[in-house]
Amino acid sequence: MPTLYEVLEDDDFMPEFRQSNELLLKFLTQEKMCQVIRLVTEEPAFNDNPSRCFKLPFVATQVLCVENVHNSQMIFDDEDFTILKELMKFINVKEEVQLNSTLCGYFNKILSFWLIKKPNQMIRYIKASSNFINDLINHIYLNSSIIDILVRICCI
């Protein structure tokens, strides 16, 4: 069985994912989707290969910005918000920790996508999360990515 990285690096992956290929969706379990999120939220190590540093975070962002039944169910039908909590670990760090600006842009793209596509479900998560807004505000210094997210939330 191929690894998650091998699947994500395949040129046919995104078209097949967008078309909701049944075998591919079965492969992308909740655990694997959390691994996909970590490609966006965890900085690669200094000695990681270029694919891990550049291609995989980009592809992971594309995966998380596809509105299909698989993603919608995986993200919003979980009472514990497992996928969203994994994503929010990116900003749930000490204020002194400088967020990677590239990964912050990916984070912004994912949140903005779902705030546009599923605003009610996102607001439900935000209300259920005790520290989401505070975590965003703690990193408002970074660049326009965090400010964009706050503005988008205010406009819902």
- Token pair for 91: 């900003």
CB 40 within 8 Å of CB 64: yes
As a whole number of angstroms, the distance between CA 20 and CA 114 comes to 18
Q: Average pLDDT of the chain?
A: 94
As a whole number of angstroms, the distance between CA 13 and CA 59 comes to 9
Domain map (residue ranges) of the chain:
4-154
Q: H/E element holding 104?
A: helix 101-117
* Model confidence pLDDT, tens digit, residues 10-35: 999 999 999 999 999 999 999 999 99
pLDDT at position 14, please? 97
As a whole number of angstroms, the distance between CA 145 and CA 99 comes to 11
CB neighbourhood size of 74 (10 A): 20
Q: Decide: pTM greater than 0.85.
A: yes
Residues of the chain with pLDDT under 50: none
pLDDT at position 142, please? 66
